Amino acid sequence: MNKRLILLLPLVLVVSLFPSQMILNAHASGYTGTGLVCITSPATATNCSNSAPTIGPVTVGSTFTVGVFINNSQPMGGFDIYVAVNASYLNPTNATLGPLITSPSLTNICVNGLAQTGTCTTGTANGPGVVEASTVESSGTNECSNAPPCSGLAFNITYKVVGPTASTPIFYPADGAGCSPSSVATPTDVCVLVADALGNTLPENVLGARVTQGVTVNPTSTAVSCISPVTVGKPTTCTATVTDTATTGATNPTGQVTFSTSGSGGFNPSTCTLSSVGTNQAACFTSYTPTSVGTGTHNIGASYPGDTVHTGSATNSFSLTVSPASPTVGTTVILETTGGPVTTNVPVGSSVHETAVLMGGYPATGVSGAVTYTLYANGNCGTPGTVGSRVTVATSNNAPNSPSFILSSPGNFSFQAVYSGDSSNAPGTSSCQLVIVGATTTSTVTCSPSPAVMGTSTSCTVTVKDTSPSPTTPSGIVSFITNSTGTFTNTNSCTLAAGTTTGIASCTITYTPVATGHHFITTSYGGDSTHATSANTSNMPVVVPTTSAPPSTILGLSPAIFYSVIGAIVVVAALLAFLVLRRRGKTLQKSTAVSTTP
């Protein structure tokens, strides 16, 4: 609200304490009530009607002018009045003061938030579709002070019709603290202020108007579709389409669509805003998440309330199929002596139990129903088994453990868990968990030579023995590892070969240590279809290679004397050989001379 009106009216009064002439009430009076601000049409009307006038029908592109009239008010010194319309249909193009204020001053006229005269009051309702007009009597006195009540045309507004609609109002906006004080008692923030020359707010009622157009309101139809089927707890997309079904002059519907469901579920958002499709349709979409399966069918509806040129329509026709979730049943067989899962063969007499957890059900935690544990005396869960127990799924989707099963004989055993399902989850079955129960075995490993020499290969032999009362010969593979630095041949493993004694098998691998110290060689037998696993560790010391020490005597002589004698003998032998060869050379020379004499 233009608070400047309240501040300036007393100032104008001070300047004009002694007016040159009295201001007489020259305005017509017709409204029988007291204090009314109204919209008049035509603008030349001389009083307010007793009800809001209807203006029209008008057509898009046409213009018309209305009056803002104050009827039967107390003597006044000025006003600040806002008038608003929906800018999608009407656009105010001009405003001019009427004759109510005889000598207006400090006039401000603001149209669509732009100043036409003076300035626009900031922080108020000014903006598109809003006209603000304010002025005060320059004489500093009240209008109609000699002949109250006071009536007259405050100002005119010219509008242009810019959009089709069956009807649209002309009203006085409310704007909270921005329009306070107000002449209107209820609500207290209506942007209408009429004041006397001293700045006192005068009480007023208000009466707007309605503008009609000669437009046809076209019928519509609404359809909805969703991506179907959908799993409970998972979102699906639902699309609403509104169609203008008029045979001629069809246009795109506008506004919002509200969704509904016959089942349990939620829309996000529950309403959506239409966007034009083609020339006579509009569509929008939302996300729907069913929270229960119910009957398996959720009827999805969409309701369109209509707009100014379209009737409303609704539908509940789409049948959305809602499927239960399909949780995965994960199971683990636990060896009770270790508390860990069974990863290899177990010996006869082992005690095991099975545990299960549901994954991917709905809700994420809180699946209900039961799990049945079954033991099968074969490897494929295909024949009737022994039911261990039926337990109720816990809130964390974990099932309590099965009872303990004692595997008292060798062979293949299978474990399986079956989930019963509930209102939101389909039944499910775990994979078949195979456990091989074999006769107990022992493994021993020996390496030769021992101690081993660093850098020199040594042979390590492992022997696996069936220790059951009726032994059979084990088969399979034994793996080797060392705690130190060295290399094995045959990729650290060897294959058992039967020995001469039933129930015993062995194999050999070569190990080359490359560091001294204690090398702990560990063997692990993986078992076979009738034998359990076993392992053994052997401590093999590794030493450095040895070298020969020189002899302390040679043929009873110290090495120095011995090698000196040998050296002298070698010298004498060489001299004798030289002399012999020389003597033979002289003899040969004489023989040659005799044979050549004539």
Output b/e per residue, 527-560; b: 16+ Cβ within 10 A: bbebbbbbbbebebebeeeeeeeeeeeeeeeeee
Percent of the chain topping pLDDT 70:
91
Same domain for 19 and 168? Answer: yes
Residue 510 pLDDT > 50: yes
How far is residue 83's CA from residue 141's CA, in Å, rounded to a whole number?
26
Structure tokens belonging to residue 539: 């401590």
Same domain for 144 and 284? Answer: no
Overall number of domains in the chain? 4
Structure tokens belonging to residue 331: 């199971």
Place of tokens 């129960």: 437
Which amino acid is it at 21?
A: Q
Of 213, 246, 274, the one marking the end of a domain is 213
Same domain for 206 and 230? Answer: no
Task: Summarize the confidence of residues 332-356 as an average pLDDT.
Answer: 91
Same domain for 267 and 355? Answer: no
H or E, element range at 243? strand 236-244
Same domain for 414 and 445? Answer: no
Question: Is residue 578 in a domain?
Answer: no
Same domain for 14 and 94? Answer: yes
Query: The domain spanning residue 387 has which CATH number?
Result: 2.60.40.10
Question: Is residue 558 in a domain?
Answer: no
Question: Is residue 465 in a domain?
Answer: yes
Residue 24 pLDDT > 90: no
Task: Summarize the confidence of residues 148-162 as an average pLDDT.
Answer: 95
Looking at residue 198, its pLDDT comes to 94
Looking at residue 238, its pLDDT comes to 98
How far is residue 259's CA from residue 267's CA, in Å, rounded to a whole number?
7
Long-range contacts of 315-318 (CB under 8 A, 24+ apart): 315/221, 315/222, 315/223, 315/224, 316/260, 316/262, 317/223, 317/224, 318/224, 318/225, 318/226, 318/238
Residue 468 pLDDT > 50: yes
> What is the rounded (10 degree) CA torsion for 114, 117, 123, 127?
-30
Q: In sequence order, which residues have a C-beta less than 8 Å from that of residue 502 and are 6 or more positions away? A: 471, 472, 473
Residue 23 pLDDT > 60: no
pLDDT digits (tens, 9 = 90+) for 285-337: 999 999 999 999 999 999 999 998 999 999 988 999 999 999 999 999 999 99
Question: Is residue 484 in a domain?
Answer: yes
Task: Summarize the confidence of residues 463-474 as an average pLDDT.
Answer: 92
If one compares 157 and 491, the residue with the highest pLDDT of the two is 157
How far is residue 60's CA from residue 165's CA, in Å, rounded to a whole number?
9
* Most trustworthy range by pLDDT among 152-156, 555-559, 561-565: 152-156
The residue range of the domain holding 278 is 220-323
Same domain for 356 and 232? Answer: no
If one compares 179 and 298, the residue with the highest pLDDT of the two is 298
DSSP string, 173-236: -B-GGGG-S-S-SSSTTBSEEEE-TT-PBPP-EEE-EEEEE----B-EEEEEEE-S-EETTS-E
How far is residue 164's CA from residue 307's CA, in Å, rounded to a whole number?
11
3-state secondary structure of 268: strand
Q: Of 256, 262, 252, whose CA–CA distance to 274 is shortest?
A: 256
Question: Is residue 557 in a domain?
Answer: no
Question: Is residue 457 in a domain?
Answer: yes
Which amino acid is it at 136?
A: V
If one compares 319 and 410, the residue with the highest pLDDT of the two is 319
Residue 28 pLDDT > 80: no
How far is residue 497's CA from residue 474's CA, in Å, rounded to a whole number?
9
Task: Summarize the confidence of residues 578-582 as an average pLDDT.
Answer: 75
Task: Summarize the confidence of residues 414-429 as an average pLDDT.
Answer: 95
Query: The domain spanning residue 176 has which CATH number?
Result: 2.60.40.680
Structure tokens belonging to residue 100: 């109510």
Question: Is residue 569 in a domain?
Answer: no
Of 390, 418, 438, the one marking the end of a domain is 438
Query: Mean of the per-residue pLDDT values for the chain?
Result: 89
Residue 594 pLDDT > 50: no
Same domain for 66 and 154? Answer: yes
Same domain for 257 and 390? Answer: no
Looking at residue 367, its pLDDT comes to 92
Question: Is residue 451 in a domain?
Answer: yes
Which amino acid is it at 344?
A: T
Task: Summarize the confidence of residues 60-83 as an average pLDDT.
Answer: 96
How far is residue 221's CA from residue 253's CA, in Å, rounded to a whole number?
10
Same domain for 244 and 305? Answer: yes
DSSP string, 404-418: PEEE-SSEEEEEEEE
pLDDT digits (tens, 9 = 90+) for 353-387: 999 999 999 998 889 999 999 999 877 887 788 88
Whether the CB-CB separation of 40 and 64 falls below 8 Å is answered with: no
Phi, psi of 559 (to 5 degrees): -55, -35
How far is residue 105's CA from residue 536's CA, in Å, rounded to a whole number?
112
Of 323, 339, 360, the one marking the end of a domain is 323
Give the least confident one: 6-10, 18-22, 361-365, 483-487: 18-22
3-state secondary structure of 483: coil
Looking at residue 286, its pLDDT comes to 98
3-state secondary structure of 560: helix
Same domain for 232 and 176? Answer: no
Structure tokens belonging to residue 35: 């204090």
Same domain for 232 and 209? Answer: no
